[in-house]
Structure 1
Amino acid sequence: MSTRTELTTVEAVREGRSWLFTATDAHGTDDEVILVPCEDGVEAWVNRCTHEAQRLDRGMGVAMRDGELICPKHGSTFDSCSGHCDNGDAAHTTLVGVDVSVEDGTVYLTDDGYAFVHEGGIEDDDGWGDDDGPSSTSHLSF
């Protein structure tokens, strides 16, 4: 059985629309992961649009509408439960998933490919740009 790390509660994810944390992948690279509400609890996705390496959650929560995550750069939307995008520049792609489980309202990281580092985003120079926002002039915010 894989190890699991307690992250947060389903209630906290629902109240905040998302919950951001940093994890180290199997190659020793830190990556941001977002927990988002889903019909049956929560899902976890690497915090990166599939079209360009743009953060979906820039530290203020993920912009969401009707159960879909919205990329702040080009407006592509991803189903919060499946990670699939069927529109915009990211059409026909799926977000990279991270395994989590829920037990008694608590969310656990259960993906053997990731180790929890801390709540919140990567605080060092993360390659996202000087202002930690998308490198475009269409900064969507909700």
Structure 2
Amino acid sequence: MSTTAQTTSITELAERVDEAARRVAGLDPEARKAAEELKEAVEAVHRAGLITIVRRMRADERARELLFELVDEPEVRMLFMLHGIIRPDPMTEASRVIDAIRPMVRSHGGDVELVRVEDGVAYVRLKGACTGCSAPAVALREGIEEALIERVPAITRVEVLPPEPSPVLIPLSAVRFGRDDGWVRAIPVEQVPDGRITPLHLTAKDGTEQEAIVVRLGDRFTAYVNECAHQAMPLDDALLDREAGTITCPWHGFSFDAESGECLSMPGAQLERLPLRIDDGHVWIKVGS
């Protein structure tokens, strides 16, 4: 391997790809068509070879673990993403876009919350200067919509949800739950540390037991079955990266999106999410069906 290849960063490589694409776009129609056909042919060969390598490595017990490690390397991950072998889930991609544009939105006195992504539609909730019918508010909304549609291929439309109503506190004793509803009063909210993973052993009224983890990022709480999607190993000591929004399994290094549970190391793997709600200052988690 040449010294240049060894020292070229992933960012520099990506910039070279972008620059080459821009230069091709500036060619005359015939030259551009020939360049694009050459690009597609080379990419097809590379993709077929990569798919064969991945399939063979996944089928071999000795090679599978190495494959999982390789996917965490930025260069390998970028290569797999370029060829569609790894596809980040739309929620993860949209969250990154929102995080990127949030400083701009806040600088105009507004804010935006990504609620969910379903069937190609991103549902967002707007606050502050983003609401209303004034020209600046409309411009902010259009900018948010344009950023999501342009940067996340799976998103074709953006829907703005109405503002959340002010919370009304209802004593928990006034709410009557079914005997077998499966909801377990798990832990006081104040005992769930921010930016940490909290393992819990839960027992429902019918005796059903469940090992779970609660992930807290600010005021966002998520619960999962305490098993890595790779080999069902416990996640008690998993690493939670607040900045990246990821959970990394301590056993084999699998990385998961902290809010969706989607595996970022291997397509198709997913942490099993548990229903969670906050009531009366406590985290409640539903166990069983």
* TM-score relative to the length of structure 1: 0.61
Counterpart residue identity of residue 44, structure 1: A
Does the CA contact (< 8 Å) of 1:9 and 1:105 recur in 2? Answer: yes
How far the C-alpha of 1:103 sits from its partner, in A, is: 2.9
State the partner residue of 2:31.
Answer: none
How far the C-alpha of 1:24 sits from its partner, in A, is: 5.0
- CA deviations on 1:96-127 (whole Å, 9 max, x unpaired) are 11111013542112x2517xxxxxxxxxxxxx
How far the C-alpha of 1:39 sits from its partner, in A, is: 5.8
1:107 aligns with 2:280: no
1:98 aligns with 2:274: yes
Q: 2:264 aligns with which of 86, 91, 94?
A: 86
Structure 2: distance between partners of 1:86 and 1:16: 19
Which structure ranks higher in relative contact order (CA pairs < 8 Å, sequence separation ≥ 6)?
1
1:62/1:105 CA distance change after superposition, 3 Å: farther
Structure 2: distance between partners of 1:73 and 1:95: 15
How far the C-alpha of 1:9 sits from its partner, in A, is: 3.2
Unaligned runs of 5+ in 2: 1-176
1:13/1:91 CA distance change after superposition, 3 Å: farther
How far the C-alpha of 1:29 sits from its partner, in A, is: 6.3
> Higher strand fraction: Structure 1 or Structure 2?
1
Q: Which secondary structure state, in structure 1, belongs to the residue aligned with residue 193 of structure 2?
A: helix
Q: Matched residue pairs, number?
A: 108
Counterpart residue identity of residue 75, structure 1: G
How far the C-alpha of 1:34 sits from its partner, in A, is: 0.4
1:62 aligns with 2:241: no
What is the RMSD computed on CA atoms of the aligned residues?
Answer: 3.0
1:39/1:106 CA distance change after superposition, 3 Å: same
- CA deviations on 1:9-64 (whole Å, 9 max, x unpaired) are 33432347122112358x9664310011146521110111111121111xxx5321
**Which stretch of structure 1 is more off in the superposition, 32-41 or 11-20?**
11-20
**Which stretch of structure 1 is more off in the superposition, 45-54 or 8-17?**
8-17
Unaligned runs of 5+ in 1: 115-142
Structure 1: distance between partners of 2:216 and 2:260: 11
State the partner residue of 1:122.
Answer: none
1:23 aligns with 2:202: yes
Largest Rg, 1 or 2: 2
Percentage of identical aligned residues: 33
Does the CA contact (< 8 Å) of 2:195 and 2:240 recur in 1? Answer: no
Structure 1: distance between partners of 2:208 and 2:269: 23
> Higher helix fraction: Structure 1 or Structure 2?
2
State the partner residue of 1:44.
Answer: 223
1:14/1:101 CA distance change after superposition, 3 Å: same
1:73 aligns with 2:239: no
State the partner residue of 1:12.
Answer: 191
Does the CA contact (< 8 Å) of 1:86 and 1:92 recur in 2? Answer: no
